[in-house]
Amino acid sequence: MNGRHTCAVAAGALALAAAAAGAPAASAGHSESISTKQGFVKFDDFGEKLQAYDAKEGGYGVRAYLHWSSTEKATVTADRSTGSGFAQKNLSIREGVPVELTICHTKNGVDVKCSLSQTGEA
């Protein structure tokens, strides 16, 4: 290669590297959580986990609902009065898909009070 051609190739490579450095990263998702006095629920976009934690004894539990399409959903329930105060479910949701998270307080396994949904992204 002659000197001019080498410089042109080097300049092109440098311009390509600079453009790549300024390119936006792939969609990173967005975790979401909801806390109440009874406990909390969380959708963790890193690893796509749905979690529920029952922070208090006393006969009430916590249920997490996650919806990501009109037909796709997952639930997980934590209830200190009937078992573990923590529950988790691993999910597989395509990156970039919007998700809706809801927390419900339960009594004897039945929802008694639910929050409004909050939106995250897988």
Nearest to 76 by CA among 84, 22, 119: 84
pLDDT: is 47 or 119 the higher one? 119
**Mean pLDDT, rounded, of the chain:** 84
Tens-digit pLDDT profile for residues 20-34: 444 444 457 899 999
- Fill in the DSSP letter of residue 5: H
Complete domains list, the chain, with CATH: 32-121 (2.60.40)
What is the Cα–Cα distance from 106 to 109, expressed in whole angstroms?
Answer: 6
Q: Which of 114, 45, 122 is nearest to 77 (CA)?
A: 114
For the segment 49-75, what is each residue's pLDDT rounded down to a tens digit? 999 999 998 899 999 999 999 899 999
Taking 60 as the threshold, does the pLDDT of residue 5 lie above it?
no
- CA 100 from chain center: how many Å? 10
What pTM value is reported for the model? 0.76
With tokens 């998700």, the residue in question is: 99
Q: Which two tokens stand for residue 115?
A: 């929050």
**What percent of the chain is modeled with pLDDT above 90?**
67
